[in-house]
Structure 1
Amino acid sequence: MAAEVLAQGGARVTVYDAMPSAGRKFLMAGRGGLNLTHSEPLPQFMTRYREAAPRLQAAIEAFSPDALRAWSEALGEPTFVGSSGRVFPKAFKASPLLRAWLRRLDAAGVQFAFRHRWSGWDGEGRLLFRTPDGASAADVCGTVLALGGASWPRLGSDGGWVDILAAKGVAISKLRPANSGFTVAWSDLFRDRFEGQPLKGVALTIGAHTVRGEAMITRSGIEGGAIYALSAELREAVLGLGQATLTIALRPDLDAAALTRRLSGTRGKQSLANFLRKAAQLSPVGIGLMQEAAIASGRSLAALSPAELAQLINAIPLQLTGTAPLDRAISTAGGIAIDELDEHFMLSKLPGVFAAGEMLDWEAPTGGYLLQASFATGVSAGTGALEWLKR
């Protein structure tokens, strides 16, 4: 995006990419359907960026979700709004959009230099790169850094830039997993039976934060959309306390009284699991979670009264013991402190050097917010760099 803005402004632009081809992380983002942005009203949209929202506001207003949709359509990829409010290209994939984009950049004169891994500056201020043919240097008038976080190292986002910028005195918040899964000490029986099973229509709560949605049991813990939406709160609790308690409501639309009435009937010869499945419409994995919680509390699920079962159904305590590794996370929290950048995303300690995307210290849930801010900060950094060149 920065290259496009600069080229349209008349600058000669080269994109240096550590990978053998362009847009590899962009293609990965579209693997299950390219969620470009979200259709919700902008005031609500901005709240998804949490404490970074005030610093991202101008960039996202300047290149809004509507502007991003128009940009995609101009490349021959019209968009549609899904049932969840998420916005996708009608082709649903990233590859047609990327191909059209690269053709337009080529027509604008943008050059690409692949397998060029940036390694800093030399004594004369030239950019240094490691390439298969050895070291190379580039004398430039302005630089936009868009090196990503550290959650996709095999696609180039390995956080290798942190030490380079820190050595220049740039303040950088520690890179941490965002939109990540969490580890749970499952019993062997639960893990072997329910690994890969979804929890649908649940409500997840930590503190004052509740999210409705789905989650997925993994061999080492739990992940999924509803988990990702709470990942910041869960992560900070785990980092601060060593663990976090996530409360799971399996039937959030039924209160305790309604569930108690359903569970007060005669069970007869049914197993407890079959009775819970029929009376409360619980899935096997949900019943398994209840059994895990009962065992952890030193009680038997069969010994609980209808009222106690009803309470447990909508308040299963799940102890999260850690975060999934950063290289398994969808995105990255932390990065260049926002206060290190001016309103044009130029680094105050490095005049003429701009930064955009996940390098910056912001995070957002999945749903189109990650790509939207990456696009918008790219536009702003490109605009700032163009103004710098014109000086």
Structure 2
Amino acid sequence: MPVSSTAQTAPIAIIGAGPAGLFAAERLSQKGHEVHLFDHMARPGRKFLMAGRSGLNLTHAEPLEPFLQRYGTAREWLAPCIHNFPPEALRHWAEDLGEPCFTGSSGRVFLKSLKASPLLRRWLTRLQDQGVQFFPHHRLVDMQGLSLAFQTPERLIQREASAIILALGGGSWSRLGSDGRWTSLLEGHCTPFAPSNCGFMPDWPDDFLLRHEGATLRGITLSFDGQTHRGDLIITKRGLEGAPLYALSAALRQALARSNPVTVTLNLRPTLSHAQIMERLARQRLRESRSNKLRKALNLDRTMRELLTQLCPDARTPGELADAITLIPLRFTATAELDRAISTAGGLKQDALDEHFMLRHQPGLFACGEMLDWEAPTGGYLLQGCFSTAYQCAEGVHRWLSQPLPGKLPS
């Protein structure tokens, strides 16, 4: 319901112009609230644009129950948000902005344009038409109740708000805006950030990584702790990256915290059985070198063959090579650096917030998006979580401003 001018004496302040902050601004301005959106970057949606460089994966089309399981320990926390703003609603939202979607063979939902920039342009136009005011180059440096202090390039600025939404992001990709510095304003209410959907460092010689930097191990599987994930692994000078590792990142990170190193099983040819691999190798001429047998029988490229030499040097017979190819022990010693992770675990704790996403210690202060302590794999689950928590948060702000709620400050 629209809010009368007397019900809101100051604008709602939203800090953070990523997808969560933008969507909360859209929802609240649609309901008649005056919204001011602050960000320390020059332009909104910088990380959102980067996510769309390889085709914006908006959400996922799998049934809701397995969808919710992707959020792991945060499932029960996020389930009400996602029920209230589910994947179908996010897809309809994009299409209402003139950006049709399609579902890929993996179930991932993409924009047909495969770009984030047209969607963001139309989105910002909608926000402008709804009266949202954007304030760039404003870094939040202090909060006292509903009073805010921002550092701008020129001076320190004070602002008053009727309610505040923090949508400040996680702790990775600081050059795009998510630097995690906001945690100093909420000491005692945050779990330290940790990399999620990240690369890992194998215990390989540095010269092997440098020699094969940029090479891709295609169509492999990684298995760990009862989970198996298939995809491609990319070798970089910082270690290994790729979808199978991202899917295992939470389990691997937790295991590394208990013991080091952690061993994962790598299968270079998961579409072939052990017997089929043995049969193909047995058909090769005895006088062929091991490298030629692997190349001719199984189409293993140079990187894969050298990896087998590095990790399984003694495998020679068809049976030994079949074991090596399907059960390579891959030992990881550390995660890749936090700032290069696709997303982060940690952030504002669940018990710091009520069911309306308002901080328990400060009435009128709300939070949403990646700054909350939840994590999810790639595949559309990250953006869905940001949009759904922003939806729930905006509803909470509207309720708080529109009717008496426990803990609301007297007017």
Matched to 2:392, the amino acid is S
Matched to 2:160, the amino acid is D
Q: Residue by residue, what CA displacement relative to the aligned partner does 1:90-122 show, whole Å, maximum 9, x if unpaired?
A: 111111101101111111110001000011214
Q: What residue number does 1:162 align with?
A: 183
Q: What residue number does 2:93 align with?
A: 71
Q: Residue by residue, what CA displacement relative to the aligned partner does 1:124-149 show, whole Å, maximum 9, x if unpaired?
A: 64111111111111110101100000
CA distance in 2, matches of 1:161, 1:212: 36
Matched to 2:369, the amino acid is G
Q: Is 1:230 aligned to 2:228, yes or no?
A: no
Q: What residue number does 2:402 align with?
A: 390
Q: Would you say how many aligned residue pairs link Structure 1 and Structure 2?
A: 381
Q: What residue number does 1:204 align with?
A: 222
Shift of 1:188: 4.8
Q: Is 1:10 aligned to 2:28, yes or no?
A: no
- In 2, are the aligned partners of 1:289 and 1:316 still within 8 Å (CA)? no
- SS of equivalent residue, structure 1 residue 321: strand
Shift of 1:27: 0.8
Match of 1:329 among 324, 328, 341: 341
- SS of equivalent residue, structure 2 residue 57: coil
Q: Is 1:354 aligned to 2:375, yes or no?
A: no
Shift of 1:76: 0.9
Matched to 1:387, the amino acid is R
Q: What residue number does 1:363 align with?
A: 375
| 1:241-260 equivalent positions in 2, closer than 5 A | 241-260=259-278
CA distance in 1, matches of 2:206, 2:148: 52
TM-score normalised by the chain length of structure 1: 0.94
Q: Is 1:373 aligned to 2:385, yes or no?
A: yes
Q: Residue by residue, what CA displacement relative to the aligned partner does 1:353-386 show, whole Å, maximum 9, x if unpaired?
A: 1111111111011111100110111111111111
Q: What residue number does 1:215 align with?
A: 233
CA distance in 1, matches of 2:284, 2:383: 53
Shift of 1:286: 1.9
Structure 1 residues not aligned, in runs of 5+:
none
Matched to 2:345, the amino acid is A
| 1:112-131 equivalent positions in 2, closer than 5 A | 112-122=134-144, 125-131=146-152
CA distance in 1, matches of 2:206, 2:198: 23
- In 1, are the aligned partners of 2:281 and 2:294 still within 8 Å (CA)? yes
- SS of equivalent residue, structure 1 residue 97: helix
- In 2, are the aligned partners of 1:185 and 1:221 still within 8 Å (CA)? no
Q: What residue number does 1:135 align with?
A: 156
Q: What residue number does 2:197 align with?
A: 179
- In 1, are the aligned partners of 2:146 and 2:162 still within 8 Å (CA)? no
Q: What residue number does 1:98 align with?
A: 120
- SS of equivalent residue, structure 2 residue 373: coil
CA distance in 2, matches of 1:258, 1:19: 56
| 1:287-326 equivalent positions in 2, closer than 5 A | 287-295=305-313, 300-301=314-315, 304-326=316-338
Shift of 1:46: 0.8
Structure 1 residues 189 and 117: alpha-carbon distance in aligned structure 2, compared to 1, 3 A threshold: closer
Which stretch shows the higher mean deviation, 353-362 or 338-347? 338-347
Shift of 1:208: 1.1
- In 1, are the aligned partners of 2:369 and 2:387 still within 8 Å (CA)? yes
Q: What residue number does 2:406 align with?
A: none
Match of 1:57 among 79, 82, 101: 79
CA distance in 1, matches of 2:45, 2:238: 31
- SS of equivalent residue, structure 1 residue 318: strand
TM-score normalised by the chain length of structure 2: 0.90
- SS of equivalent residue, structure 2 residue 312: helix
Matched to 1:111, the amino acid is Q
| 1:187-202 equivalent positions in 2, closer than 5 A | 187-202=205-220
Q: Residue by residue, what CA displacement relative to the aligned partner does 1:52-103 show, whole Å, maximum 9, x if unpaired?
A: 0111011111111110011011111111112221111111111110110111
- In 1, are the aligned partners of 2:146 and 2:163 still within 8 Å (CA)? no
- SS of equivalent residue, structure 2 residue 203: coil
- SS of equivalent residue, structure 1 residue 36: strand
- In 2, are the aligned partners of 1:86 and 1:367 still within 8 Å (CA)? yes
Q: Is 1:274 aligned to 2:292, yes or no?
A: yes
CA distance in 1, matches of 2:139, 2:239: 35
CA distance in 1, matches of 2:50, 2:274: 43
Structure 1 residues 165 and 291: alpha-carbon distance in aligned structure 2, compared to 1, 3 A threshold: same
Shift of 1:274: 1.3
Which stretch shows the higher mean deviation, 249-258 or 357-366? 249-258
Shift of 1:189: 5.0
Q: Residue by residue, what CA displacement relative to the aligned partner does 1:175-209 show, whole Å, maximum 9, x if unpaired?
A: 00000001123235532432211111111011211
Q: Is 1:45 aligned to 2:67, yes or no?
A: yes
RMSD, aligned α-carbons: 1.4
Matched to 1:316, the amino acid is I
- In 2, are the aligned partners of 1:184 and 1:220 still within 8 Å (CA)? no
CA distance in 2, matches of 1:261, 1:23: 53
- In 2, are the aligned partners of 1:249 and 1:316 still within 8 Å (CA)? yes
Q: Residue by residue, what CA displacement relative to the aligned partner does 1:148-172 show, whole Å, maximum 9, x if unpaired?
A: 0011111111111112111xx42x1
Shift of 1:3: 0.7
Shift of 1:266: 4.4
CA distance in 2, matches of 1:291, 1:220: 21
CA distance in 2, matches of 1:247, 1:91: 37
CA distance in 1, matches of 2:284, 2:160: 81
- SS of equivalent residue, structure 1 residue 346: coil
Match of 2:170 among 149, 158, 165: 149
Structure 1 residues 196 and 108: alpha-carbon distance in aligned structure 2, compared to 1, 3 A threshold: same
